[in-house]
Amino acid sequence: MDAHVKTVREILHSGDQFLVPFFQRHYSWSKEHWQRLLDDIIALTEDTNDTKHFLGPLVCTPFHPVPGEVTPYQLIDGQQRLATLTVALAALRDIAKLNALESLSEEIHEDYLIHRRRQGVQRFKVVPRLEDRTDYESIIEGSPAGTTMTTGLLGAYSFFKREWNRLMSSDGEAAIRQFLIAATARLSLVTITVAGENPYEIFESLNSTGLPLEESDLIRNFLFMQVPLEEQDRFQSVHWDAFEKRFDATGEYEKLSPTLFYRSYLMREGNYCRNKAAYVEFKKQNLARALTPAVQVEELQMFAKFELWLRRPFTCEVADFREAFSQILALDITTAHPLLLNLLHRHERGTLERAELLGCFSDLASFVLRRSVCGESTRGYGRLYPAAVRVIRLNPRDDLRNFLLREGWPDDAAFIPHLIEFPIYKRERNKCRLLLETLERQQGHKEQLNLKRLTVEHVLPQAIDGDGDDGRSWQEMLGVNWQILQQKWVHTLGNLTLTGYNPELGNGCFADKQAAFGESRVSLNQHFAGLTQWTDREVKQRGVDLAQIVARVWPRPPGGPTYIPPAPAPPEPEGHPDEEPGEGHRGRSKLLIRIHWSRLGKAGDDEEVCESKANKTLATFLGKLIRAFGDSMSERLTRLPVTRRYPLSSNPTVDFLNPAQGEPFSHLPVPGTGLYVFTNLSNKEKRDDLSRLVAQLDFPPGSVEVQLD
């Protein structure tokens, strides 16, 4: 690292060029900042002691210079200061020109603003981000448009031009030169040049008040910096925009994280990529393959298409693929995306037939579903699926099957008994929904039903009220051990079905439910027509029947090592769960949030938020609130304590810092917002904190229900 105090004159007089990287924000200084800089310059003109004023740091990393061209530096910190200074000097130049001071105007222009013997973008000493570049270049070249603007670079130019003109005295050239000397010879910055470092890490360490930086921002910057400056505009419009827009939010889907996609893309050939190492690995792979930016983005486009199929199944036009992707999405196996990208690429190249590809999808779904029901840990899945890629050779399905069998693929002897008694509604709600919808399709009914509009119904109710007739009816039917039997069987597959939304049905007696089921067009409900009672015996028998169907839909191939079920997990003490993405905890209560949108004055059906992990439920719920109520809700949640004493934060590395460890407490991004929520809490604490938050937001009673299920 090389650090020196330099005046603005020393910085801009050099033959250097300062490029604002693409991971930096756009120009954002406003009148408040411009006025402060102007006041500093005026104060220096009134100070006869020749003192200097320190503006702050200028941190940059060098590019390898090209012989015969200007020496380029990437601006990591200080872009707002340097851009504003050069715009202020351009305004001073134009005031000099208006006062017929041509020599002084040319001096400012050629000494501080341009490299006069260069052409194109190399002509400019400071090069802002692409979105700011047109306005900046028009200012430096003396032809700014929109000089009545009050924001952005054009706003800065208008402000300084107006103020320089107002401050002019009868001294003319002497006054302008006095301002020039103050701005260039008496304003100084600490220039810090850092070579051989990751600019992402440098920016993160300096960015204590800005928005968190994604590795995707740095990857974008890396690619653009390989494109000649004068070609960057065309590269963005022809190649980059179409790729990056794939991740944007739509009316139906939330914005996706490009960083997560990059990590899956980088592991598609079987090489594991650590979290927060995507930029380094991307740069390494790109340089090793010597891909041009255009060719690289063309490849990214193809894999991004696959990624969107996996995350947004209904964007895929192929019906059987769409169904397979919907299953994979419901199974929540994003850690398998590197493997799936590899298989889809093989199919795209024509080396994997459609039937074989669909077979691989089905095998993967069976592997994940069966392991989940049998209580297998998901720890290590992040490394398991890239390892699977490495064993796939000429016979992808056979190779993948053999690999999954070796890793522990539960057979029917283990899976069916586990599924019969597994409280799937409580533990794995998305998987529960997938199984019920699949079982309904297996019935082969003639009528076309929109299964997504149906709700999951507990035949034996979740709550039995001993004071009412319905509750007493259930107690009599179940017998003396009714509480034990209800707790054991209520959330199992055998006790669940699909119905139209019918809140009155929930805790009703079996006779009332049976009558409603008889009017239902859902084929699953025909099972209840001839029954006279619904006890643990009927629940178990139906569970056996349905579990056998599920085992046939998602079979395990014969052969392979004998499956050995995991030892029963010991009870987990209440504490602070470390819920890493892709990790699971057996037996922990799940956070459930019911949102009644109509009571909140919003359109839309009531919904439940209950993800596989409480942290994700928390973040998803907050994202839905912000999406529904807009910026006003976002602002409130960055002021109110959301969890523990912490509001939502745009800079969790600082706001959620654990001083004892020197690292932030665990946190999670709130989808589609750029904000983060503190998650270093037990599930009970999350429930209690959310309940307090709902009260603080003055929501109508009963509009948002928070509970542990």
pLDDT at 80: 92
HEC assignment per residue over 492-521: CHHHEEEECCCHHHCCCCHHHHHHHHHCCC
Q: What's the pLDDT score for residue 576?
A: 44
pLDDT score at 175: 87
Instruction: Kindly list the distances between the CA atom of residue 156 and the CA atoms of 28, 34, 133, in Å, as whole numbers in the listed order.
Output: 10, 7, 14
Q: Are 367 and 404 in contact (CB under 8 A)?
A: yes
Closest CA to 360 of 340, 378, 345, 376: 340
Please state, in angstroms and as integers, the Cα–Cα distance from residue 661 to each residue in 500, 629, 636, following that order: 51, 36, 30
Q: What is the pLDDT of residue 588?
A: 55
**In sequence order, what E strands does 78-170 have?**
126-127
Residue 445: predicted pLDDT: 60
Instruction: Report, as ranges of residue numbers, the positions in the chain whose pLDDT lies below 70.
Output: 1, 23, 64-65, 68, 146-148, 169-171, 196-213, 444-448, 466, 501-504, 567-588, 654, 658-662
Angle between the N-to-C axes of helices 354-373 and 319-330, in degrees from 0 to 180, rounded to the nearest 10:
20
pLDDT of residue 417: 96
Angle subtended at Cα 525 by Cα 519 and Cα 526, rounded to the nearest 5 degrees: 85
Question: Of the candidates 142, 175, 187, which has an alpha carbon nearest to the alpha carbon of residue 51?
Answer: 187
Pair of tokens at residue 643: 């969890």
- pLDDT at site 196: 62
Give the tokens for residue 557. Answer: 């191939």
CA nearest to 690, candidates 605, 598, 599, 624? 624
Residue 33 corresponds to which tokens in the numbers above? 């900042």
Asked if residues 522 and 498 have their Cβ atoms less than 8 Å apart, the reply is yes
Q: How far apart are CA 6 and CA 490, in angstroms?
A: 73
Q: Per this entry, what is the length of the chain? A: 709
Task: Report yes or no: 316 and 309 within 8 Å, Cβ to Cβ.
Answer: yes
**Would you give the distance in Å from CA 591 to the centre of its chain?**
21
Which amino acid, one-letter code, is at 146?
G
**Pairing of β 71-77 and β 16-19:** parallel
Model pLDDT, residue 577: 42
Phi/psi zone of residue 225: left (φ > 0), alpha (ψ -120 to 50 degrees), beta? alpha
All structural domains of the chain with their residue ranges: 2-206, 215-410, 420-553, 591-708
Measured in whole angstroms, the distance separating CA 629 from the mean position of its chain's CA atoms is 20
Q: Which of 323, 377, 705, 397 is nearest to 572 (CA)?
A: 377
Q: What is the pLDDT of residues 247-298, one digit of tens each?
A: 998 888 888 989 999 999 999 999 999 888 899 999 999 999 999 999 999 9
**What's the pTM value of the predicted model, to 2 decimals?**
0.67
pLDDT of residue 679: 92
How buried is 19 (Cβ within 10 angstroms: 0-12 exposed, 13-18 middle, 19+ buried)? buried
Quick one: pLDDT at residue 575?
A: 41
pLDDT in tens, 194-210: 876 555 556 555 554 44
Looking at residue 211, its pLDDT comes to: 45
Task: Tabulate helix, strand, coil % of the chain (nearest 5).
Answer: 55, 10, 35
